[in-house]
Amino acid sequence: MTITAKANSLWEYANPRKFLATSERLLPFFWLASTTCLVVGLVWGFFFTPDDYKQGSTVKIIYLHVPSALMAINCWLMMLAASLIWLVRRHHVSALAARAAAPVGIVFTLVALVTGAIWGQPMWGSWWAWDPRLTSFLILFLFYLGYVALWEAIEDPDTAADLTSVLCLVGSVFAILSRYAVNFWNQGLHQGASVMRVAAVTGSDTEEKVSNIYFFPLMLCIVGFVLLFIALVLYRTCTEIRARRIKALLARERANA
């Protein structure tokens, strides 16, 4: 199959029936795999890793804080891709997928903010600091809330999809800032990347990186969060497609009455 043919076959999933049928087949795998990875990763991290020499047992918060923060940003980037597809190709499923992902992003952002505050209190002596990364993350959270509110506020679904897509484009600045703020500005309490930094792995920099004792269960938790995100977005998109069909059927019924 050529690349063009493969790309064209991808658009078949813009058909709601095809999307529903494929999702129904894939969902059991994603639910099972995400639960397994999360349970094994969290149990491994919580029960079978030692305390850190600097941070004590608070290092165990890393298994929730890092994956949730990572997925909070990636969720918005997924919504950005779906919004662009809606704006360019007008596929309803992509707009509904972006809508379905937003509450998942809200919860992941909230988990990252709460665990960050709880972790920060004993380590920094403060629950919160107006640090570039923390502030951009808080603004991202507010964008998530605004995005959901905008969907709810506008009755016509196509207009809502248009306006929320534009909001998503604007909010992407903060999604990117949340990830790279520590590289742009040196001030602030939040540390730079220490989990997946190529230079640290290859040995070309000497900055501290997460020890392998913590790295492997953390990777399992990250995979678990990614799979949970996929499962939730597929499931919730199916729900949005069905809800939209109900609206269309009821509108047709009213028109015929």
Partner 1 sequence: MIPDLGKYTETVLSAYGISIVLLVALVVLSVMRGRRVRTELKSVEQRMSRDG
Residues of the shown chain interacting with partner 1 in the complex, contacts defined by CB under 8 A: 42, 46-47, 51, 56-58, 60-61, 64-65, 68, 103-104, 107, 110-111, 114-115, 118-119, 121-122, 228, 232, 235-236, 238-239, 242-243, 245-246, 249-250, 252-253
**Closest distance of CB 203 from partner 1, Å:** 32
The least distance separating partner 1 from the CB of residue 102, rounded to whole angstroms, comes to 12
Structure tokens at 162: 């248009």
Between 177 and 226, CB nearer to partner 1:
226
Neighbouring CB atoms inside 10 A of 194's CB total: 14
DSSP state of 188: S
CB of 67 to partner 1, least distance (A): 10
The nearer residue to partner 1, 129 or 176, going by C-beta atoms, is 129
The nearer residue to partner 1, 35 or 194, going by C-beta atoms, is: 35
Closest separation in Å from C-beta 36 to partner 1: 15
What span, in angstroms and rounded, lies between the C-alpha atoms of 145 and 113?
14
Distance in Å, CB of 9 to partner 1, minimum? 27
**Residue that the structure tokens 């491994």 belong to:** 44
Least Å from the CB of residue 6 to partner 1? 30
- Decide: 87 and 162 in contact? Cβ < 8 Å: yes
With respect to partner 1, which residue has the nearer C-beta, 51 or 152? 51
Rg (CA), the chain: 21
Residue of 254, 191, 225, 232 whose CA lies nearest to 41 = 225
Report how far residue 96's alpha carbon sits from residue 147's, in angstroms, rounded to the nearest whole number.
13
Give least dist CB 1 to partner 1, A. 33
Residue 120, classed as helix, strand or coil, is helix
Q: Which is nearer to partner 1, 13 or 235 (CB)?
A: 235
52 is written with which tokens?
A: 């850190």
Closer residue to partner 1, CB minimum distance, 149 or 243: 243
Q: What is the DSSP string of 145-187?
A: HHHHHHHHH-SSHHHHHHHHHHHHHHHHHHHHHHHHHHHH---
Cα separation, 33 vs 224, in Å, equals 7
Decide whether 126 or 183 has the Cβ nearer to partner 1: 126
